[in-house]
Structure 1
Amino acid sequence: MSTIGGLKKMVASAVVRGVEEARARIFGHILNPTGQRSPHKILRKKMIGEKVSQWYPYDIKGDDPLVMARQEQERLSKLEMLKRRGKGPPKKGQGKRASKRSK
């Protein structure tokens, strides 16, 4: 009697496994009978990098060296104006932190 019950369980589990495999094949699922962690769920998602890059406008600075040169020139002229007013950056080793240490 016990062998018949064991045989029924074995046949039933084989049928269930076969049905699960067929279902996975039909619907395109990944069969994971052991239940181990798998990256499939993450890899199944759509990539978002292309959408994010489309959100931002095209940046001309990288292509045109004249735009970069003009920005650099504006930065230098602003720095020169600040230096004339005495508001420019301090010399190396004479900033706020250095003055705190020397006390």
Structure 2
Amino acid sequence: MATKGRLKNILATVATTRLTEARAKIFGHVLNPTSQKSPNKILWKKLISDKVAGWYPYDIKKDDPLVMARQEQERLSKLEMLKRRGKGPPKKGQGKRAAKHSK
């Protein structure tokens, strides 16, 4: 009887470990059964350096004044459209915080 219970526990642990391995493989998680510290947290961070920045193409949007002017014009036209519908930003001193203090 004792061996039957022990065998059942062994099979259950094997099944759960296989299930966690499959889950990690499917969803792209990192499996860490020993709970040791790993460098994955550091590796997933955004890379910052001149060398790494050189790997990516130059973004013309940042320096081209025509592109920036067009984006600003689009922003202003969208803001104007919202104001006409009554959904624009409130005037200074007319927001939620000011409404709370006036009660």
Q: TM-score, normalised by structure 2?
A: 0.48
**Structure index of larger Rg:** 1
